[in-house]
Amino acid sequence: MTIREFPPGFLWGAAAAAYQIEGAVHADGRTPSIWDTFVTVPGAILHGDTADVACEHYERMPQDVALMKRLGLASYRFSLAWPRVCPDGGALNPAGLDFYRRLTDELLDTGITPFPTLYHWDLPQALEDRGGWTNRDTAYRFLDYAMAVHDALGDRIDSWTTLNEPWCSAFMGYTGGGHAPGRQEGVAGVVAAHHLLLGHGLFVDAFRGRGGTADRGKTVGITLNPTVADPFDPSREEDVDAARRLDGFHNRVFLDPLFHGKYPDDLESDTDGMLFDAKPWQDFVLDGDLELISRPLDFLGVNFYHGDVPAALPYDAQPGELLGSRIEHSSRPRQSPYPGAGMVFPRTGRPTTDRDWEIDPVAFTRLLVRLKDVYDAPPVYITENGVMACDVVEDGAVHDTARQRFIEQHLHAMLDAMDRGVDVRGYFVWSFMDNFEWSYGFAHRFGLVHVDYDTQVRTPKDSALWFSRLAAQNRLPVA
């Protein structure tokens, strides 16, 4: 049997996010986030399916960390809840911050490296009431919150991620309306994207000012969810252009300012005539912003689940010929998260997950190589990769062979990219345990660990036991 080896010191871990697992939404001074509000709006995708309890991680954290230790995780990627640390986006709340002090200490005491994300979509509702990420002031409030966290934990945490998937925050939140705060305001998504990047840049600048450099063992990065955009019909000019637009609004709107210090030229032409607050989005980009945004990073987090194969509208197809994950399950109409002309995602014939996402590990390799070749990306961590499956407990076990197969395929694809010179330093499964999922509530499961939401019993799935052995051996057999 052929064996593929990972580099010495390769970081194996699993990921989760505060809103999805913590519960305790009213405990210790926490105030509402935009997700607490969004899930109660009639017509929202998750109306009535709240995360008030979630996985009770806020109360069960020591036991959960002990389970991570038993499974051999070397690192845990978690997020901090802004409304818990700085309620309403205001002053520091010591009681809320203390939870993350205890979590950090618990991880370190068990030999697990904390890998925190400062923002995983749970904006304080009070800041949204003042405009949210379309308000430039939110970037400065993010800096205040982030530096308060760094003040408290910077002596024990070495690696910091500013934002998780700002595409979802900006375009799903402010253009498409499918995620909190549920606004459908066209080019507002680009304005929100800029202010998210500004908040990122402000923290990086302050972090560097405090001596946060890799040669001192302190690193900072950002996590994106870039896609591979292939036209459904390469001979159809409209589909080729749809793929270009998707790449611009999904990938290059973040990658170009971060690594090239500018926004793509075609982003400007694609939004020509679109206004937010009676102004083009370019008016929200002030002198000095791009210099902050493009400050060099120590690592890039990459989340990957699938590529995208768009077809331009109009497209003559029956609904069953389109990928179901693109059809929002809601009584409230949705707009495309891409400003301007819409697009659809026809089936290509590839196998799909239970969530109806197409499985394309080759696209993962292509994406990682592109980040190296086009953007000269810094070292990469795969901060999310995994699969939703309809898992059930049978005789005390969960036989989730599809999850193991998916992860294995993508690890091979990642190794293919590493063979082509991509510097990948670690891999985090999404997710550590089943939890509240942003578009499907608790009905769909991504976890290595099964959670019975009625009893809160945790059951490691077969994939968790397999992943534990893989991480310990640091090598992957070739079937």
Q: Retrieve residue 186's tokens.
A: 């066209």
d(CA 18, CA 273): 38
Considering the candidates 106, 384, 408, 437, report the single residue annotated as catalytic: 384
Residue 324, exposed/middle/buried by CB under 10 A (0-12, 13-18, 19+)?
middle
DSSP annotation of 428: E
Concerning whether 165 is annotated as a catalytic residue, the answer is: yes
Beta bridge partners of 300: 222, 380
Q: Retrieve residue 375's tokens.
A: 């953007």
Q: Retrieve residue 97's tokens.
A: 């911050």
- Residue 249's φ and ψ, nearest 5 degrees, are -80, -20
Considering the candidates 165, 238, 408, 437, report the single residue annotated as catalytic: 165
d(CA 69, CA 73): 6
Cα angle at 439 between 164 and 243, to 5 degrees? 70
Of 122, 181, 121, 177, whose CA–CA distance to 331 is shortest?
177
Residue type, 409: Q
Concerning whether 321 is annotated as a catalytic residue, the answer is: no
Of 54, 277, 319, 312, whose CA–CA distance to 183 is shortest?
277
* Residues 6 or more apart whose Cβ sits within 8 Å of residue 271: 187, 190, 280, 281, 339, 340
Q: Retrieve residue 464's tokens.
A: 């968790």
Q: Are 5 and 475 in contact (CB under 8 A)?
A: yes
Cα angle at 198 between 120 and 255, to 5 degrees? 80
Residues labelled as active-site residues: 165, 384
